[in-house]
Amino acid sequence: MKTSDAIDRLFAEADMRLASRPKLLAMLKTCFASTLETTAKLLEDGTSFVFTGDIPAMWLRDSSAQVRHYVPLAKDDPTLQRLIEGLIRRQIACIGIDPYANAFNEAANDHRLDWDETDLNPWIWERKYEVDSLCYPLQLAYLYWKATGRAGIFDEAFRQAAGRVIDLWTTEQRHAEQSPYRFARHTGPKSDTLRNNRMGMPVNYTGMTWSGFRPSDDACKFGYLIPANMFAAVALGNVAEIAADVYADDGLAARALTLKEELEYGIETYGIVNHPQFGRIYAYETDGFGNYNLMDDANVPSLLSIPYLGYKPKDDEVYRNTRRFVLSEANPYFYSGKAAQGIGSPHTPNRYIWPIALSMQLLTSDDIAERQQLLELLVSTDAGTGFMHEGFDADDPTRFTRPWFAWANSLFAEAVASMMESGELA
């Protein structure tokens, strides 16, 4: 696809504001247009297929994140409207195929890398159940509606999908007793499979909803993934507003708000730990039995991204404590090297920092000096490619994973655009 009129206007503004920073200007243009130019297909059925880059499948999470930076520009732009509305309709259709799946094929062709021990069908690329995979399409539709006023995406299929998500998250509040979901992968690392006869390790009832996998596609250590539950609570609030204002469906709104309250109770009651150094912080995962996993991962939703998700503001005390924790060496996936410091992931090699985490640190910071420093770091660690990558060596950015990773490009573009809008980039 070609760029749109709204993007061209943004680039014209950038030409003036960033004239003295040619590398940043070039990277903004390359990364901002990347999804539209390289990973988006407009299909004949009116939907859009947005694949992740170097993998020819569409993740519900990644595809949403890949277009989020276009949402503020879409109000008067038919090209972006066609892309985003088509994507939302495609995502809703995928949820109708199987709400436990996280990634889908363009056609019912049975393409996938692994034939996992779970319920598969020809549309599914991968069936790792992740709470955030269902949050992203719901929030994308909500943000698009709020930015454009266009409510045509809220058809009966969307209403049915929203109800189905609520049903699933309610079932997964009592995973061991009620869930039909099972998953095992018999190749690759142990992080690709669920223990305990494909069910995951036992969890206690908390009010939160269970997730088999993290947004990294790695298996959860403990089944209640705190940032994913935060995202689900926000998405449920979005659904309640849509149900009330668009559908006039008080029943759907009430169901969404009831589950939202239960998730929030579980998060605030079972998800906070008194850390000896940082005070009250959110754990990354818990099992409801008093066991906690204290870490953060670069992939979003993360603890770092709490304000970005819309769960708590930047000045919330527990978030600020949590932020200090995740941006310190107390977080086992925070790395400091000769070239950079930032958050990585167990999904990539040791001491590899993720540009997604650096962009998210920028987007959630209220410190102008920190934001400028992070921008310079992102620009200087591209290994001369003009693109963001999945992860890079903290000591040598020329060593990196995934040269074509559209999510990272989009989040970087969103971060730069946010600084232009705030006036930080004159």
Give the dihedral sign, CA 188/193/197/203.
positive
Q: What is the mean pLDDT of residues 58-82?
A: 98
Q: Does residue 1 have a pLDDT over 90?
A: no
pLDDT at position 3 is 79
The answer to whether residues 303 and 361 touch, using CB atoms and an 8 Å cutoff, is no
Q: What is the per-residue pLDDT across 304-328, written as a single tens digit (0 to 9) for each?
A: 999 999 999 999 999 999 999 999 9
pLDDT at position 343 is 98
pLDDT at position 426 is 74
SS (H, E, C) 89-135: HHHHHHHHHCCCCCEECCCCCCCCCCCCECCCCCCEEECCCCHHHHH
Q: Is 403 helix (H, G, I), strand (E, B) or coil?
A: coil
Tokens at residue 420, please? 């232009």
Question: Would you call 139 exposed, middle or buried from its count of C-beta atoms within 10 A (0-12, 13-18, 19+)?
Answer: buried
Average pLDDT score over the chain: 97
Give the dihedral sign, CA 92/94/100/103.
negative
Percent of the chain with pLDDT over 90: 99
**DSSP string for residues in 343-397:** EB-TTS-TTEEPHHHHHHHHHT---HHHHHHHHHHHHHTSTTSSS--SEEESS-T
Residues 6+ apart with CB under 8 A from 340: 353, 358, 377, 381, 392, 394, 397
Q: Does residue 293 have a pLDDT over 80?
A: yes
Q: Does residue 2 have a pLDDT over 90?
A: no
pLDDT at position 359 is 98
Residue 396's pLDDT band, with cuts at 50, 70 and 90, is very high
Q: What is the pTM of this model?
A: 0.98
Q: What are phi and psi of 168, to 5 degrees?
A: -65, -45
pLDDT at position 15 is 97
Question: Would you call 163 exposed, middle or buried from its count of C-beta atoms within 10 A (0-12, 13-18, 19+)?
Answer: middle
Residue 184's pLDDT band, with cuts at 50, 70 and 90, is very high
Tokens at residue 286, please? 């818990």
Q: What are phi and psi of 292, to 5 degrees?
A: -135, 150
pLDDT at position 268 is 98
d(CA 94, CA 85) in angstroms, rounded, equals 14
pLDDT at position 78 is 97
Q: What is the mean pLDDT of residues 49-62?
A: 96
Tokens at residue 251, please? 């029943």
d(CA 398, CA 384) in angstroms, rounded, equals 8
Q: Which domains does the chain have, with CATH numbers?
A: 1-42+333-426 (no CATH), 46-332 (1.50.10.10)
Q: Does residue 378 have a pLDDT over 90?
A: yes
pLDDT at position 292 is 98
Q: H or E element: which one contains 319? A: helix 317-326
Tokens at residue 61, please? 């999470």
d(CA 335, CA 301) in angstroms, rounded, equals 19
